């Protein structure tokens, strides 16, 4: 057997650290997982044995004195983590893996209108997805045939290999290349699905979209995604909601917002009117002297709450419209009205108290 120091390429005076470094460098290029050649495998064993001996002070001393540098048994595992770091070990999978795999999740975007959000809505969504193969029912084999046990791994799906590690023999296992780790081989793959157990199809998924959803919300529909390989469990379907903008009504949380233009004369004298909300008519009574920027709140006519009970409110911002075109008679009437009024002063106010911010504050406050 070659000299342990020569095998590792270090001097007789090398420190433990230098020996460790040399071994790591060699192991990286010779480990069977990296370098499948028979030569490399032999050298790897040699290098590992040399390292085992020289990294242990007692064994190294014996070796230096002409001893055999005995093959130490399994140790306390202090280097196990190094080994794992090198080779991505740590796999504890035992036995063949199942062909059945969980299907992937899918994401669909769904657009809904604001009026649909008030009470929730229903959609029948067309989804391109994977469904169970009817021919083989997910078995992946042609009907009447069955998979055979892999004769390379004898059904275990794993190839075991003894590897000399830092501290003795270690059994490593890797997926069997012949059966790809399944332990069985499908000799007559189903023709319909090419042995996948599933086929692509267009499917209709009925979806109840709850009231109160908002743009960006994701609804999870467990088990409504594609079916897995070989009849494995379905993935989940996610619906990402987008609420289309409405040309009149907007939204603040569960409240619906709009504005109402009121003629100056109606604002002065008061008026009863009916407006068409998203969920039907709403009767309004504007009291005499209604001001611009007043907000009428209609309780319970907003959006049904996604979480919790009840509905938000409908909030209507009043905008008094000043007439711009008056005929001669109207002008005279207004003039005589104005002449009869004592208080004609204009008054300065803080900008923040102006119409725009008042409306906004009342809406959002
Ligand atoms: Zn099939
Ligand atoms: Zn196999």
97 CA to centre of ligand 2 in angstroms: 11
| Rounded Cα–Cα distance for residues 111 and 109 (Å) | 7
In angstroms, the CA 222 to CA 236 distance is 4
Q: 106-132+194-243: what fold? A: HSP40/DNAj peptide-binding domain (2.60.260)
Q: Distance (Å, rounded) from C-alpha 308 to C-alpha 311?
A: 9
Q: Quick one: which ligand is closest to 134's CA?
A: 1
| Distance from residue 199's CA to the centre of ligand 1 (Å) | 8
Q: Please state, in angstroms and rounded to a whole number, the distance separating the CA atoms of residues 69 and 61.
A: 8
Q: What is the CATH number of domain 4-88?
A: 1.10.287.110
pLDDT of residue 94: 65
Query: What average pLDDT does range 273-279 have in this prediction?
Result: 95
- Which ligand is closest to the CA of 160, given by its number? 2
From ligand 1's centre to the CA of 183, what distance in Å? 19
Question: Which CB contacts under 8 angstroms, 24+ apart, belong to 354-363?
Answer: 355/292, 355/293, 358/293, 359/259, 359/293, 359/295, 359/317, 362/293, 362/295, 362/315, 362/317, 363/252, 363/257, 363/295, 363/315, 363/317
Place of tokens 């090398």: 14
Cα dihedral 192→195→196→200 (10° resolution): -20
**Mean pLDDT along residues 222-250:** 94
pLDDT tens digits, residue range 162-204? 877 776 777 788 899 999 999 999 999 999 999 999 999 999 9
Question: How high is the pLDDT of residue 161?
Answer: 83
Listed in order, the ranges of the chain carrying CATH 1.10.287.110 are 4-88
Least-confidence region, from 148-157, 250-259, 270-279, 347-356? 347-356
CA of residue 130 to ligand 1 center, whole Å = 12
Cα 146 to middle of ligand 1, angstroms: 12
Class for the domain spanning 250-343: mainly beta
Q: What is the CA radius of gyration of the chain?
A: 40
Which ligand has an atom closest to residue 176 CA?
2
Q: What's the rounded Cα separation, in Å, for the pair 359 and 291?
A: 11
Q: How far is the CA of 24 from the centre of ligand 2 (A)?
A: 31
Q: Are 266 and 322 in contact (CB under 8 A)?
A: no
- 314-321 vs 255-263, strand pairing mode: parallel
Per DSSP, the three-state class of 284 is strand
Cα 82 to middle of ligand 2, angstroms: 29
Q: pLDDT digits over 287-344, tens only? A: 999 998 899 999 999 999 998 889 999 999 999 999 999 999 999 999 998 888 776 6
Ligand sitting nearest the alpha carbon of 159: 2
Query: Residue 103: CA atoms inside 13 Å, Cβ hemisphere, count?
Result: 27
Q: Return residue ranges of the chain for CATH 2.60.260.20.
A: 106-132+194-243, 250-343
Query: For residues 55 and 69, what is the distance between their CA atoms, to the nearest angstrom?
Result: 11
Handedness of CA 89, 90, 96, 101 (dihedral sign): negative
pLDDT of 268 > 50? The answer is: yes
In whole angstroms, what separates CA 116 from the centre of its chain?
Answer: 26
Question: Is pLDDT at 13 greater than 70 in this prediction?
Answer: yes
User: What's the CA-to-centroid distance between 160 and ligand 1, angstroms?
Assistant: 32
Ligand nearest to the Cα of 194, by number = 1
Q: Is the pLDDT of residue 89 over 50?
A: no
């Amino acid at each position: 057997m070659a000299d342990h120091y020569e095998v590792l390429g270090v001097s007789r005076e090398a420190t433990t650290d230098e020996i460790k470094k040399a071994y790591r460098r060699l192991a990286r290029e010779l480990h069977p997982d990296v370098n499948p050649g028979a030569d490399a495998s032999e050298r790897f064993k040699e290098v590992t044995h040399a390292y085992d001996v020289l990294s242990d002070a007692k064994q190294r001393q014996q070796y230096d004195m002409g001893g055999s540098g005995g093959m130490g048994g399994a140790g306390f595992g202090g280097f196990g983590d190094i080994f794992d770091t090198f080779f991505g070990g740590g796999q504890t999978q035992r036995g063949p893996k199942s062909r059945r795999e969980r299907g992937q999740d899918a994401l669909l975007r769904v657009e809904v209108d604001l009026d649909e959000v008030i009470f929730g809505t229903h959609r029948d969504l067309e989804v391109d997805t994977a469904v169970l193969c009817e021919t083989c029912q997910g078995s992946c084999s042609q009907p009447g045939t069955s998979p055979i046990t892999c004769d390379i791994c004898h059904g275990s799906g794993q190839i075991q290999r003894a590897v000399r590690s830092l501290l003795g023999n270690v059994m490593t296992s890797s997926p069997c290349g012949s059966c790809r780790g399944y332990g069985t081989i499908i000799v007559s793959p189903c023709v319909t699905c090419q042995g996948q157990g599933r086929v692509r199809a267009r499917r209709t998924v009925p979806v109840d979209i709850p009231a109160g959803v908002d743009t960006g919300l994701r609804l999870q529909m467990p088990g409504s995604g594609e079916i897995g390989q070989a009849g494995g469990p379905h993935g989940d379907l996610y619906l990402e909601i987008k609420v289309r903008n409405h040309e009149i009504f907007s939204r603040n949380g569960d409240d619906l917002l709009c504005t109402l233009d009121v003629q100056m004369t109606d604002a002065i004298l008061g008026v009863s009117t009916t407006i068409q909300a998203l969920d039907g008519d709403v009767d309004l009574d504007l009291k005499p002297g209604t001001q611009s920027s007043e907000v009428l709140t209609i309780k319970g006519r907003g959006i049904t709450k996604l979480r919790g009970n009840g509905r938000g409110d409908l909030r209507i911002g009043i905008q008094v419209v000043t007439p711009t075109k008056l005929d001669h008679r109207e002008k005279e009437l207004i003039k005589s009205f104005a002449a009869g009024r004592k208080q004609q002063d204009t008054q300065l106010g803080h900008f923040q108290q102006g119409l725009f911010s008042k409306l906004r504050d009342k809406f959002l406050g």
